[in-house]
Amino acid sequence: MLSRMLRSVAVLVMPELAVFEFGVLCEVFGMDRSDDGLPVLEYRVCGVEAGKPVSTTGGVQVVPEHGLEGLQGADLVAVPATRLRQFPEAALQALRDAEAAGAILLTVCSGVFVLAEAGLLDGRKVTAHWHSVDELRERYPTVEVDPDVLYVDDGNLITSAGTAAGIDACLHLVRRELGSAVVNGIARRMVVPPQREGGQRQFIDRPVPECSADSLGPLLDWMLTHLDVEHTVADLAKRATMSERTFARRFVNETGTTPLRWLTRQRVLHARRLLEDTDLSVDAVATRCGFGSGTLLRHHFRKVVGVAPADYRRVFRSSEELAG
């Protein structure tokens, strides 16, 4: 029943360890579910030194049973999140050795920084928590970062976005290596879906872009209070007392995008708020936001946010509305 490629898992824990992300790896790979007919993996928790307590962000300590030698021979080496950005050379070399020996590498959230510092991500496609994307790009410009997805499968390298996205990445790996029956059994015991829809774009707050000057500020404010109105470039240029060409150029210079794209984005942002805070139907939300039809709203919403409006509402509906 066991895959040829996944029999043993080693988790490398570093100081300032994120407890939840570490727990995800323990839950998916370290639990004995043989009573459900699921395979039991050899599971090792490794630190720079065996038996040396590792600090966490949760006010507790984790004591790894194994040192860096525990990474040797593991089919999967997983690195959970840590707040550190400087890492012991011995740990980095152990990761390089594991990769050279053919291990699959998996990171949860900011664990990606450890592999990047080891030089194992150069030219590779990865993801990270949306809050860390800019930092990752700045520190490691040769790494290709996709900020919109929950996880990236790049063969022997799997990276995940923040927190719960680590569950998605781990379950994806289980499905890939051990099959659907195993991943469905694990997900059922964890009471989570074996696969989620969408990406992390739905979790990112995208504020209204600020203007670099005051010339279009009043117009943008007016547009935001009249999202349900049909706008043309000619009408907007007239309201701004500019020629269409001058208006279009000024708009791009001050907002970084075209009037149509800016307006579409603001309508989607307004739709997000209405989906979270009201019980309006999707068609009614579309009308309030100026899309005219639910079909058009669904098209633009999925393009910007990454999921359908109904799916977004199920995740983000405010607790007060649910209680009501």
pLDDT digits (tens, 9 = 90+) for 72-106: 999 999 999 999 999 999 999 999 999 999 999 99
Q: Which CATH superfamily is domain 217-323 in?
A: Homeodomain-like (1.10.10.60)
Place of tokens 């739709």: 271
Provide the pLDDT for residue 2: 44
Contact 128, 79 (CB under 8 A): no
Q: Are strands 42-46 and 144-145 parallel, antiparallel or unpaired?
A: unpaired
Q: Where in the chain is the domain with CATH 1.10.10.60?
A: 217-323
Comparing C-alpha atoms, which of 76, 240, 103 is closest to residue 170? Answer: 76
Percentage of residues in the chain having pLDDT higher than 70? 89
In the numeric block, which tokens belong to residue 294?
A: 């639910």
- Mean pLDDT over 142-161 rounds to 91
- List 56's β-bridge partners, or say none: 17
Amino acid identity of residue 258, one-letter, is T
Among 4-13, 261-270, 311-320, whose mean pLDDT is lowest? 311-320
Q: Where in the chain is the domain with CATH 3.40.50.880?
A: 8-203
- Mean pLDDT over 235-241 rounds to 91
CATH 3.40.50.880 fits domain 8-203: yes
| C-alpha dist (Å) from residue 312 to 128, 167, 305 | 21, 19, 9
Phi-psi category of 198—alpha, beta or left, where left has phi over 0 and alpha has psi -120 to 50?
A: left
Contact 308, 298 (CB under 8 A): yes
228, burial (CB in 10 Å: exposed 0-12, middle 13-18, buried 19+): middle
Taking only the tens place, the pLDDT of each residue in 185-217 is 898 888 776 666 555 554 555 555 544 445 687
In the numeric block, which tokens belong to residue 84?
A: 């550190």
